[in-house]
Structure 1
Amino acid sequence: MSAVHPPQATTLQLAVVGAGPVGLALALSAARRLPAARVCVYDRLPVSHDVSGDPRTLALSQGSVLALQRLGVWAAMAERAEPIQAVHVSQQQPGLLDLFGRAPAPELVIRAQDEGVAQLGAVIPYGALAAPMRSAWLAACAREPQRLSVRWGSPVSGVRTVPGGVEIDVGDGADGALVEPHHLAVIAEGGVFAEQARKAVARDYGQTAWVGTVGLEGGEEGVAYERFTPHGPVALLPLSGTTRADDGRTLQRRAALVWCVDQRDDPVAELSDVQRLAVLTHLLPPHVGRLRSISPLKHFALGLNAERTLVQGRTVRIGNAAQTLHPVAGQGLNLGLRDAHELVSRLARSADVDRALRQVEWQRAPDRWAMIGATDFLARSFTWPWPGLSTLRGAGLAALGQVGPLKSLLARRMMFGGR
């Protein structure tokens, strides 16, 4: 295999590895904001692979929704997205707080109307998000084939930094694999925690997430619930597809379920669907409504796996390729979209690629590490056997719910990240 040196022309040649939502968001943004750049997207899946039916659930912050609107793709996916009008965080067992009759309930409620926004975010199936982004990129490539392209069924087996750029090995790494030069490579192909090679900052939480959907009667529409329990957090995220009577009354709502438990003493694995519904009814606050049905649940291991830096030479990692987080805050995708936005913004402002990359590293670090630290602390706190820990967590929730400015600060942080 002969070495191929990166192009020396001043036109930026950008490789994006991974055609998931984060990679395509970066590619679409680069196509708009870097009009002279050549952008090539590589993906290991063939073009025939249909992503539209992927039911995995994603929580989008309002900042992410606005970013997708700016990219011109939100209109094609909005119909299957369910707005989040409120977030309700509570604790099942307040511990010693029960002894104080006047103590505030250990809960925090954030409402969009209180924050002066139309919604706090939205919940959408992966397929409903990814398929329109795929279509948008294919349409962009058809309009400008001389500078925009996509390589389906082309796994990238290696990326090397060389003077002036990178070399990308396209194929399985055997003799005859293609070596393609670019000025910059962005890795946006992450995968799930259990399948990833361990990065610089790695922690196995020893927890399992059980995911699926539930059907609900009653309760408030458009509310995302997070419930801290002794075994771990349980989340319900509102989904589209509400069933209504002829007079407009809500008959049944759908919600995505994320149920986190200890791997070593998994209380979910051996339960029947009826038993799972009964346990969830006990764990969740009554105002979520009545749980009427539950889908088959899938499960995956939970952990933290993060790079210390986004930038290594002329290679940048974003999204799950840079940091895989516990789903306790539902912020992994949103963090990746902010990574993509900032990278393109810096490249658009500076013709010096290395200077732009240094700025990206410094600008993204506070937001990244604040979110990594917060989710890591919450995830690990469920494994600590310290007496009174649940009491402290409940007291913190109750106090935060009573202090308006702090609650608004948290709401803005969850909607738009650190800015």
Structure 2
Amino acid sequence: MPDNAAAADPAPLSVDHGAPLPAPAATRLAVIGAGPVGLTLALFAARLWPEASITVFDARPPSLDVSADPRTLALSLGSIQLLQRLQAWPAAQAQPIVQVHVSQAPPTLTGVPIRPELTIRALDEGVPQLGAVLRYGQVVAPLQQAWMQECEAAPSRCQLRLGTPVAAVKPMAGGAVEVDAGIAEPFDLAVIAEGGVFADQPRKSLARDYRQTAWVGSVELEVSGRPTDDPPGTAYERFTRHGPVALLPLPREAADAPNLRRAALVWCVPSDDDPVAPLDDHQRGVVLSTLLPEGAGRLRALGPLKRFTLGLNAERTLVQGRQVRIGNAAQTLHPVAGQGLNLGLRDAFTLVSGLSGAPSLDAALRRVEWSRAPDRWSMIAATDFLARSFTWQLPGLAALRGLGIAALQAMPPVKSALARQMMFGRR
């Protein structure tokens, strides 16, 4: 599977590293959070703004091995392209997603001769892959290494300050901001990219507890070798009466049998009447087996599960003076569409490109806010609607959802438009 998919996007995001742009009015930039979104922003800024000074702060200790973080991430093709342009895409460690299968578990459409299933294939969209799956540490480690190389090459303008939590960011006279990380320092712009999970976040201006829990872990599946098996690299979204169940394909291991597949699991259920919590591991496996689509294969093993509270936590505006929030610091979403990190990476790219060469920083920030609004709010609205729909006790709602899935499958142009938005965001 080729990993360089930049040419597949008819309107690719482009960064010409050979032609640096003038630095924006902000020449002193503070990036708070050395996760994938913060590091991506810092790298783009360093390479596009050769005269700017950029400092990345993070509370994690310098001795922490970020590559060991086992959390699973799904990146869209657009996100892969961004990381490729930064030469920080670990293609050898990633599992390409070549197909997405969306379906609804029965009972759903009694007496109606249609199948509530939707299949999006990379081949049909003219791209080598729709996205990829890999571990959080596998994404962050090459980004951090690339940023450390920037710091070594230009120590006077690029810094990485690990083990340095930021206590506060406050406005100063003249439009600057003061970053308090033990010693208060002035910057022209502070970008907050430190997100965290919903349960640990202070509530933002738009907050909603879905009263849902995500059980997260990994599974082993055994396929039969029959034509009904889905191809390797298939991701699944299965709507059940309790909530969505997602499987993300993981890379094979050397000792795996040919018919064995591995996948990351996200199993969403109501928090108030959690059907998973009282079960032991064997019982959870039995229940999960009844929820998976036939093409996924037979559940052979279910690993340990961890649970997380789900909710929406979003700022109404990204920009407050000379402070900008991006990624999970701006919007924490339900995982039903797997788009949180992808949205954050687009935040980072748009901010850097939107400020490049801008004579007025404040005017440019307002333009960035407006340019991000369609992509950002359409994704917030879509995930919020889907998440809340599982709490609605309306007769026939499941049937309507199934009809909607079947209708998308029957309308290739609409299905293709949906696939493009999931790959590249709304433009």
TM over 0.5: yes
Question: What's the RMSD between the two structures over aligned residues?
Answer: 1.3
User: Stretches of 4+ moved more than 3 A in 1?
Assistant: 242-245
Q: Structure 1: how far apart are the matches of 2:25 and 2:88?
A: 30
Post-superposition shift, 1:11?
6.4
Post-superposition shift, 1:269?
1.2
**Structure 1 residue matching 2:55: 3-state secondary structure:** strand
CA contact (8 A) 1:224 1:236 kept: yes
Q: Does 1:65 align with 2:80?
A: yes
**Structure 2 residue matching 1:98: 3-state secondary structure:** coil
Q: Structure 1: how far apart are the matches of 2:254 and 2:165?
A: 42
Letter of the structure 2 residue corresponding to residue 235 of structure 1: A
Post-superposition shift, 1:160?
1.0
Post-superposition shift, 1:98?
2.1
Which residue number in structure 2 is paired with residue 294 of structure 1? 302
Correspondence for 2:59 among 37, 44, 47: 44
Cα deviations by residue, 1:374-399 (Å, 9 ceiling, x for unpaired)? 00000000000010000100000000
Which residue number in structure 1 is paired with residue 153 of structure 2? 143
**Structure 1 residue matching 2:334: 3-state secondary structure:** coil
Post-superposition shift, 1:351?
3.0
Q: Does 1:166 align with 2:181?
A: no
Q: Which runs of 5+ in 2 are unaligned?
A: 1-23, 224-228
**Structure 2 residue matching 1:303: 3-state secondary structure:** strand
**Structure 2 residue matching 1:397: 3-state secondary structure:** helix
Matches within 5 A, 1:116-155: 116-155=126-165
Are the structure 2 counterparts of residues 243 and 291 from structure 1 closer, same or farther at C-alpha, using a change threshold of 3 Å? farther
Correspondence for 1:24 among 39, 57, 74: 39
Which residue number in structure 2 is paired with residue 274 of structure 1? 282
Q: Does 1:98 align with 2:106?
A: no
Letter of the structure 2 residue corresponding to residue 182 of structure 1: F
Matches within 5 A, 1:356-375: 356-375=364-383
Bigger shift: 156-165 or 40-49?
Answer: 156-165
TM-score, normalised to structure 2, is: 0.91
Correspondence for 2:354 among 346, 354, 357: 346
Q: Does 1:115 align with 2:115?
A: no
Post-superposition shift, 1:217?
1.1
**Structure 1 residue matching 2:65: 3-state secondary structure:** coil
Bigger shift: 236-245 or 378-387?
Answer: 236-245
Q: Structure 1: how far apart are the matches of 2:324 and 2:120?
A: 35
Post-superposition shift, 1:251?
3.2
Q: Structure 2: how far apart are the matches of 1:409 and 1:94?
A: 29
Post-superposition shift, 1:93?
2.3
Post-superposition shift, 1:349?
3.6
Matches within 5 A, 1:298-337: 298-337=306-345
CA contact (8 A) 1:11 1:36 kept: no
Which residue number in structure 2 is paired with residue 385 of structure 1? 393
Q: Structure 1: how far apart are the matches of 2:252 and 2:412?
A: 33
Q: Structure 2: how far apart are the matches of 1:87 and 1:304?
A: 24
Q: Structure 1: how far apart are the matches of 2:198 and 2:353?
A: 29
**Structure 2 residue matching 1:250: 3-state secondary structure:** coil
Are the structure 2 counterparts of residues 10 and 322 from structure 1 closer, same or farther at C-alpha, using a change threshold of 3 Å? closer
Q: Structure 1: how far apart are the matches of 2:234 and 2:357?
A: 39
Matches within 5 A, 1:117-266: 117-162=127-172, 163-171=174-182, 178-218=183-223, 219=229, 220-242=231-253, 250-266=258-274
CA contact (8 A) 1:244 1:250 kept: no
Correspondence for 2:96 among 73, 83, 91: 83
**Structure 2 residue matching 1:328: 3-state secondary structure:** helix
TM-score, normalised to structure 1, is: 0.93
Post-superposition shift, 1:132?
1.1
**Structure 2 residue matching 1:128: 3-state secondary structure:** helix
CA contact (8 A) 2:197 2:332 kept: yes
Cα deviations by residue, 1:261-296 (Å, 9 ceiling, x for unpaired)? 000111111222221111111011111011111111
CA contact (8 A) 1:94 1:394 kept: no
Letter of the structure 2 residue corresponding to residue 89 of structure 1: V
**Structure 1 residue matching 2:286: 3-state secondary structure:** helix
Identity of aligned residues (%): 63
Bigger shift: 198-207 or 128-137?
Answer: 128-137
**Structure 1 residue matching 2:299: 3-state secondary structure:** strand
Q: Structure 2: how far apart are the matches of 1:242 and 1:217?
A: 14
Counting matched residue pairs gives 397
